[in-house]
Chain A
Amino acid sequence: MTKRVTPATLTVDNFIDGAWVGSDERFDVRDPGRRADVIARVAVADEAQVDRAVESAHKALKPWGAISIDDRAAAVLRAADLIEAEAEKGIEGLAGVVVRETGMLPVEIIMELRGAAYAARDNVEAAKVALEPVIVEDKASIVRIEHRPIGVVAAIVPWNAPIVLLIRKFAPALVAGDTLVIKTPPTAPVGVAILMEKLAGLFPRGVINVVHGGAETGAALSAHPKVRLISFTGGGAAAKQIMKTAADTLKNVQFELGGNDAAIVLDDVDMNKAIPTLIAGAFHRSGQFCFAIKRLYVPESIYDAFFDKLVAEIDAFRVGHPMDPRTTFGPINNPGQLAYLKSLVEKTHAAGGELIELGHKVDPESWDEGNYMLPVLVRKPAGDFDIVTCEQFGPVLPVMSYKSEDEVVALANGTEYGLGSSIWTSDFERGVALARRLEAGMTYINKNAQSRLGRRHMPFGGIKQSGIGTENSELGLAEFTEIHAMNFHKV
């Protein structure tokens, strides 16, 4: 057993109008790998504090919007450099606290910080194209189309990758001239708050505000008449509530929600190359990311060989506390999610599903002190099992077999979700042709992630119940702007 070091509990406040603001009501943030450890005591923002945060952001709109796009872009690029510098510090820097609150591995969080820096830079690049006025002219008139800030943006961020998911909102909003009120996730608010306070110095006072709390804080933010856009990443039930609240003041909404992303292996796949990459696409962050592979479809002809290789690879995972250097697989972020995953496993078992628990416990004695579970494969479950039809958001992967491409397309599309998807093949043409038949916002081929080029150019988001609108690229940037069209009539 490794030596146990309990770091001091932090006090984290709301960040409003350039200053930390405490609150009488606080909640504890616990280490998901060692629940007894309270990482931070965090101030809850009540309605009055949310109002102050929005008013502060609203007041900052004029001075911030008056700065040129180039200067706003420069400030966002400096923010990107600061985030990257944090990544370089490893767990001695910001990554340390994010690892402890999320339960994600240091390598995952350091990658997340680097990804966040790139997301900021990519959005600046996209803004240079997207914010350029369009001017057309003929004998009778001139038309000029400008993109203006939408106003105060409420950015509501989830716990599973809080830094990068926030920066996807932060960067386009700020470069477009908007100001921000960020609501942090209750089980991972600390890293976001520390980073935002650090970055706020690059911007005029009030441009960045941070509030903490649960559904009530979110509701106060969604209802505030001076918020013009709610950009939310999280679950569908919360999204519905947000949209209903937003309706009263006709706010714009942009939602990136869950998925039940299918991975389709084709029979020409190079198994040795594909399997490690595919496993990362499913089990990275212990399966806790929106576009994780959530259903795996393997052709009947190669099923047994493919499944055996999966079992062998996944069995190598060592599940434990993320700060333990032996660990390659962290805990589940919160007890609610762990209980949901266990119930899915239980239901699958009760329905007669074949479950294979894999991997090893790093520290069996302290297993129950954290939200731990071993990765699980489900062999050939029936298509109507909950583990197939629901989003698990955790390390339980159902592996189905199929006979024809038509069959697998129908299975993949037979869901209310439509976020990502992936195809694994040696044949480019076949992969792209199949991709075009999938009902999803994104399809990755031969890796379940965006390439460097993809991060810059792909609008990130889903269709059907997986979202409204999109993030990243010129198309995502447009969500953070309003259009003002001017029409000069020549006399």
Chain B
Amino acid sequence: MSGYLRIRNLSVALRDSGARLLRSVSLEVAAGEVRGLVGESGAGKSMIGKAVLGILPRSVEVVEGEIWLGDVDLLRLPPAERRKRVGANAALIPQDPLTALNPSRRIGGQVTDRLVDILGWKRAKAEARALELLAEVHIPDPARVMRSYPHELSGGMRQRILIASAFAAEPRLIIADEPTTALDVTVQKQILRLIAAMQARHGTTLLFVTHDLGVVSKVCQSLSVLYAGLMVEDTTVADFFRAPAHPYSAALLAATPKYTDPWASLMPVSEAVIDAVRAEVDAAETEWRDAR
């Protein structure tokens, strides 16, 4: 089976020091699949999404690898073509809905701009589509919301709008970058359900970046575990929760608090496990250096 998004040996490094943030990561997401990408803060999980979408910070660069979206390697495209390709076929659901909408532009324009400017739709058609999508993400009175500015809407509403905007062009791939982390706990569940429902209805390939294994167990079919830029496990959700293959994965799973007994179940990842996984990272690094 060949996935819609295929990442091969992707390494991303800091421009000045050459230190790698992603260490030869390979990853495949089948068409229509929901794959979780988990790891601690700084493990590089967001970096993968940024590399795919072409929004890596200026301080880092891709030093090797391939990113196949469908049948093209994005890294081999000229920049303008790559932008168009990503804009037409992929979309991002960002982490913080409060900062992800332009405060000086109306919602309508921010949902329809890609359809009109990048995909060449007629404005009327794009607006009709935006209204339809806003209704689909349960926004009351979509016509009024289209004319509103971001500051007039709540965080939950804004995240719904960003979800609608991501799905508007019917992209084959959506990358959700911790889409519930910045929200109230009460809203988190609704948004999670909404993303899952939208994904199922549209059959979109979804890469779900999160540090929350609970979220993974609810919405994903497969998952990849990252530690310090190294992929330590790549498995199905069913297998992962039954028997994680890597000791770090097992420790991560054990560290997840259980609602039945939250205090007793708080288990930090042991030092032995950390040492083991660090050794793996070092080995990968030495191997990579030697190969160059």
A and B from one assembly?
A: no
A residues at B contact (CB < 8 Å): none
B residues at A contact (CB < 8 Å): none
